[in-house]
Amino acid sequence: MEPRKESLDHGYAPPAPLPHAPHALLAPAPPSVRSARREDAAALAELSQPFVRSGALRERPLSLYAGRAADFLVAQGPGGRLDGCVGLRVHPAGPGEGRGPVGVLYNFCVAGQKQGHGVGAGLLRAVLAAARAQSLGALFTATTGGGGLFLRYGFTPTTARPAPQSWAGSLDPRRGARILARVL
């Protein structure tokens, strides 16, 4: 007599073994993305410093981070630490430009130890959603790197010509930045 068989006949099934995936058990929860607050200014500046030192980002004063905190989305990790940020500046159409408002992504950075863990992709998805919610026609950014993340999310290389003139004119040609755009 098999006592297990009787139990199985009444709908009992032993639990299935867990698949062997130790990395899944150790993977940290993705950071939450939220709007930055004025009190995040010092953390934004600190997060940006390694990229400023490497030449990937322009130096920005603490007052800019505080004054434009509303431009930023931040990825907040456990304990409140900022793991990444991206600024979205809206540029209304200039006279005679024949387009609606567009956005410029700036100061996009992810803490070194969090790169490759989805923080940048999460920020990019969130900023794309924010741009759509604001009915922006396109997004522009400039990168001194390869721009792989942007390219994977539909950005394409472009020239300064279709970009907001005030922003394109502020780019330092000595930095060799490549302009990327995405129509929304």
Per the domain annotation, does 93 fall within a domain? yes
Per the domain annotation, does 175 fall within a domain? yes
The count of domains in the chain is 1
User: What percentage of the chain carries pLDDT values higher than 90?
Assistant: 72
DSSP string computed for 124-151: HHHHHHHHHHTT-SEEEEEESS--HHHH
Kindly tell me if the per-residue pLDDT of 23 is higher than 80.
Answer: no
172 token code pair: 């330092």
Per the domain annotation, does 43 fall within a domain? yes
- CB half-sphere exposure, 30, CA atoms < 13 A: 12
Q: Tell me the mean pLDDT in the region 30-39.
A: 90
Count the neighbouring beta carbons within 10 Å of the beta carbon of residue 65.
25
Average pLDDT of the chain is 86
Q: Among residues 92, 49, 40, 46, which one has the least CA distance to residue 68?
A: 40
DSSP H or E run through 85:
strand 82-91
Per the domain annotation, does 24 fall within a domain? no
Per the domain annotation, does 21 fall within a domain? no
CATH number at residue 178: 3.40.630.30
Per the domain annotation, does 63 fall within a domain? yes
Per the domain annotation, does 13 fall within a domain? no
Q: Which of 13-27, 78-92, 129-143, 159-173 has the lowest mean pLDDT?
A: 13-27
pLDDT digits (tens, 9 = 90+) for 56-101: 999 999 999 999 999 999 999 988 899 999 999 999 987 767 788 9
Per the domain annotation, does 19 fall within a domain? no
pTM greater than 0.75: yes
The boundaries of the domain holding residue 86 are 29-183
